[in-house]
Chain A
Amino acid sequence: MEHRGTPQAQDGARAVLGCTRVSDYNYSTFDLAREQPVFAAFKTKRYVTERVQSNDLEDLATGQTLPMSDLWAKGLAVVEFGSLT
């Protein structure tokens, strides 16, 4: 298994800083090497004890937009990020 050296991997640093295009973010091919710097950066991104950013998200069931802060407005919130794949 060899994932290093692909064009996507060369964009690893940019992935850490943030993808600039929708097609960069929604890649069509998984590349493990591209993910590695993102995992490394997670340790130093947003520490426990800091206040988190509230983004607006779409409720899949209702189609309504709601601020993430609604999740923790009345108590603790457990927020998992993921996808079907």
Chain B
Amino acid sequence: MDDLADRYANRGVTSAFVYTREAHPAEHYRHHTTMADKRRNARALATAGPVRRTILLDDLEGTAHHAWGLLPNMTWIIGRAGLILYKSMWTDAGDVEHALNDTLEHLAVRGREKLLPFYSERLAWRHKDEASFRAGLERAGPQAVTDFYGPPRTPTK
């Protein structure tokens, strides 16, 4: 997503990452009880390198997160005046870029080519990357792995 942000910045596209609650809190990155907790984990995200974009912190109550859908990793494309152009329950850079490019291309010629927008819905697809997902849980701590996959199986005789 950061690469996408870099590529489209000179086309008038602003990209930002809104920091929410911890989706998988665990030993290394606990749930937030103060804004200081939230800032510390957000700085870790910026320092670790996964996110180079502007990071904006929601409040401790998750006011924006609630208003926008409460999902752990959703992405939205918003047009001028706040019009929702795209919403996705998961962030997939390829899907976002497809939507973004399509929007920019049509906006650029809509007057000349007399284009009219219309509403549509579709099912998108993404690669399942179990290894990366599990690595993310392990980074958070053993509790995160157990919370998601269940307790480790004990060897049976």
With a 10 A CB-CB cut-off, give which of B20, B58, B100, B144 has the most chain A CB atoms: B58
B20 lies within 8 A of A82 (CB)? yes
In angstroms, Cα B70 to Cα A68, docked, is 16
- With contacts A25-B62, A60-B43, A60-B56 known, is A80 near B17, CB below 8 A? yes
B64 lies within 8 A of A55 (CB)? yes
B80 lies within 8 A of A72 (CB)? yes
Interface size, B (range)? 35 or more
In angstroms, Cα B30 to Cα A43, docked, is 29
A residues less than 8 Å from B103 (CB atoms): 76
**Distance (whole angstroms) from the CB of A12 to the closest CB of chain B:** 12
A78 lies within 8 A of B5 (CB)? yes
How many residues of A are in contact with the other chain, CB < 8 A? 56
Binding site for A on B (CB under 8 A): 1, 4-5, 8, 11-26, 29-33, 35, 39, 41-46, 48, 50, 53-87, 89, 91, 96, 100, 103-104, 117, 119, 136-137, 139-140, 143-144, 147-150
